[in-house]
């Protein structure tokens, strides 16, 4: 770990000013915000992240979950994962988010990790986390050691010739299914970004994972007003029962009327380079009977664009089974 400056701030404008102090075209911001630090500090110890300054934002007033007058749910960027998972409104109206959060990490980490930090959680690809190996995400133009390497855990959707790293977050998958909107404040002002526009596929710039610019601060996430007739399910398939990243996961939000799907959202985890909203699966399901045939057809549609690597071809069939079973769970007894 290299030497760095540590700054504490108490206001959002002060944080934005500090965050925008230093940047380079290739590496992005060299001033980094820190709250729980559950990812950033690990990467600093590995010399993957080398910020010149850390800005402690823990004292910012961004730690509340509240209902807005229009029915939306506002989740502050500093809300801890444990608090969010157990929030009464989240458990009742956005159950898929609570389920996803509780399926990730450990209780101790959930007590520290924040909503904003989880949103920005970086890949667990072993080559990204080892600075002795070639990684275009860590060092653009160096190559991708995962191609033909140890890629069992990596992505099959949204990949490119330059990167196949997987987005590791469970929370992000649920947020994709809930159509979350991310509120950002920065040196250029404020903006709202739908989650499907927030994350970027790697293409030929895998080092750029999202739309944030130096100095940008996520202040809150907004969820649309609750749909009380929907049933929500997060299903996670992994090598062991706890403290493990997904091989494949599915977040489903579904409404069934007279035996047919009248509303459905499908998002996948463990298989995409970003939280993977499957519009193809949703189109295949909308208006169709809530039965095994429809679910299987949707699963096929969701995986049509898959590009498995040397060790993760099993994820295609595993993902299909994950989708069909999650849909079954989300549509039974509704």
Query: What's the whole-number mean pLDDT along residues 162-166?
Result: 98
Task: Note the pLDDT of residue 29.
Answer: 53
Radius of gyration of the chain (CA): 20
pLDDT surpasses 60 at 23? no
Q: What is the mean pLDDT of residues 130-135?
A: 96
Is the pLDDT at 229 greater than 60, yes or no?
A: yes
Find, among 44, 106, 92, 39, the residue nearest to 242 by Cα. Answer: 106
Q: Give per-residue pLDDT as tens, 232-251.
A: 999 999 999 989 999 999 99
Q: Let me know the angle formed at the C-alpha of 38 by 43 and 195, rounded to the nearest 5 degrees.
A: 95
- Asked if 285 and 298 count as a contact pair (C-beta separation under 8 A), the reply is yes
Fold of 231-331: Enolase-like; domain 1 (3.30.390)
Gap between the Cα atoms of 271 and 315, Å rounded: 7
Burial of 287 (0-12, 13-18, 19+ CB in 10 A): exposed
Residue 169 pLDDT greater than 60, yes or no: yes
Output the pLDDT for position 275.
98
Residue 28: per-residue pLDDT: 45
pLDDT class of 22 with cuts at 50, 70, 90: low
C-beta of residue 263 within 8 angstroms of C-beta of residue 230: yes
Judged against a pLDDT cut of 80, whether residue 333 lies above it is answered with: no
In the block, residue with structure tokens 């069939």: 317
List the domain boundaries for the chain. Answer: 231-331
Q: Which of 48-52, 158-162, 284-288 has the lowest mean pLDDT?
A: 48-52
Residue 141: φ, ψ to 5°: 90, -5
pLDDT per residue as tens digits for the range 63-99: 999 999 999 999 999 999 999 999 999 999 999 999 9
Is a pLDDT exceeding 80 seen at residue 283? Answer: yes
**pLDDT interval class at 313 (50, 70, 90):** very high
């Amino acid at each position: 770990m290299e030497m760095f400056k540590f700054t504490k701030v108490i206001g959002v404008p002060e944080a934005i000013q500090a965050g925008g102090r230093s940047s380079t075209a290739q590496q992005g911001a060299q001033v980094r915000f820190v709250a729980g630090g559950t990812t950033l500090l690990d990467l600093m110890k590995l010399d993957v992240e080398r910020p010149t300054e850390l800005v402690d934002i823990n004292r910012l007033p961004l730690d509340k979950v509240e209902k807005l007058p229009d029915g939306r749910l506002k989740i502050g960027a500093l809300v801890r994962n444990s608090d969010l998972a157990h929030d009464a409104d989240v458990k009742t109206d956005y159950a898929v988010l609570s389920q996803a959060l509780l399926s990730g990490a450990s209780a101790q980490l959930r007590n520290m990790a924040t909503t904003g930090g989880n949103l920005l959680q970086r890949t667990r690809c072993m080559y990204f986390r080892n600075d002795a190996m070639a990684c275009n995400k860590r060092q653009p133009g160096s190559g991708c050691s995962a191609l033909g390497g140890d890629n069992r855990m990596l992505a099959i959707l949204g990949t490119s010739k330059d990167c196949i790293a997987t987005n590791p977050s469970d929370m992000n998958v649920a947020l994709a299914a809930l159509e979350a909107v991310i509120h950002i404040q920065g040196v250029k002002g404020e903006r709202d970004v739908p989650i499907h526009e927030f994350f970027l596929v790697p293409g030929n710039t895998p080092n750029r994972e999202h739309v944030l610019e130096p100095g940008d601060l996520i202040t809150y996430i907004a969820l649309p007003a609750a749909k009380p007739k929907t049933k929500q399910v997060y299903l996670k398939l992994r090598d062991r029962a706890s403290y493990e990243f997904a091989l494949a996961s599915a977040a489903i939000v579904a409404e069934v009327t007279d035996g047919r799907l009248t509303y459905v959202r499908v998002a996948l985890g463990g298989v995409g380079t970003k939280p993977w909203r499957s519009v193809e699966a949703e189109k295949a399901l909308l208006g169709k009977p809530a039965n095994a045939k429809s679910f299987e057809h949707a699963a096929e549609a969701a995986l049509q664009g898959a590009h498995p690597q040397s060790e993760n071809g099993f994820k295609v069939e595993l993902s299909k089974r994950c989708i069909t079973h999650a849909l079954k769970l989300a549509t039974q007894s509704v």
